[in-house]
Amino acid sequence: MRRRGGAEAGRTTMTTYTARPVGPTALKQLRDTDDADRACAPYTDEEGGAPLRCCLRLSEAGEHIALVSYTPLRRWAAETWARPGAYDEQGPVFIHAQGCEGPAGAVDGYPFARPGALRTVRRYNAEGKITGGRLLEIPDGTTAGFDAAFAEALADPEVVLVHVRAVEYGCFHFEVRRA
């Protein structure tokens, strides 16, 4: 979603960090039964403003959405044969109750980046173990704040993916992987 400039041997390089939404296979399953084994309970969002993880935008009033439990690390581990063990976190996420097209084209900046909001930026290795993390109070320059956090996290060669979660509710926001 954004690029970060950096100095490397006297020249500027660009690194792209992409915020990844919940994938289509997971969404199909979550719209039936969530990762806590509960049936999906769709409702009409009367006010709007719910952070939708299927398309990485805020909901609009009148949209049909659902709040479901999601375990992103478990789903990633199933694809990679990693063994996260106790680091397998489950948390609430909002999704469209019916299918959606995912993120609409290129987005400038990162989703749900409200200055002053608190996020955890958690690092995971190839086994799915937490290798570190940091608290990020999103600065006024939201893109630069996230870019710096991702550059710091991915500077460690052991890190293969990064999860961003809200501190207030523990909600998973999005994932960033190496390009």
Residue 133 burial (C-beta neighbours within 10 Å; 0-12, 13-18, 19+): middle
* HEC-encoded secondary structure of the chain: CEEEEEEECCEEEEEEECCECCCHHHHHHHCCECCCCCECCCEECCCCCCEECCCCEECCCCCEEEEEEECHHHHHHHHHCCCCHHHCCCEEEEEECCCCCCCCCCCCCCCCCCCCCEEEEEEECCCCCEEEEEEEECCCCHHHHHHHHHHHHHCCCCCCEEEEEECCCCCEEEEEECC
Per-residue confidence (pLDDT) for residue 178, from 0 to 100? 81
Q: Structure pTM?
A: 0.86
DSSP bridge partners of 92: 69
Per-residue confidence (pLDDT) for residue 169, from 0 to 100? 87
What is the C-alpha to C-alpha distance for residues 76 and 51, in angstroms, rounded to an integer? 21
Token output for 43 = 């409702």
Cα separation values, 4 from 12, 33, 139, Å: 10, 38, 16
Per-residue confidence (pLDDT) for residue 4, from 0 to 100? 40
Per-residue confidence (pLDDT) for residue 106, from 0 to 100? 64
What are the mean pLDDT values of the chain's consecutive 10-residue runs (179 residues total)? 42 66 95 97 97 95 98 94 90 94 78 94 96 95 92 95 92 89
What is the C-alpha to C-alpha distance for residues 120 and 135, in angstroms, rounded to an integer? 5
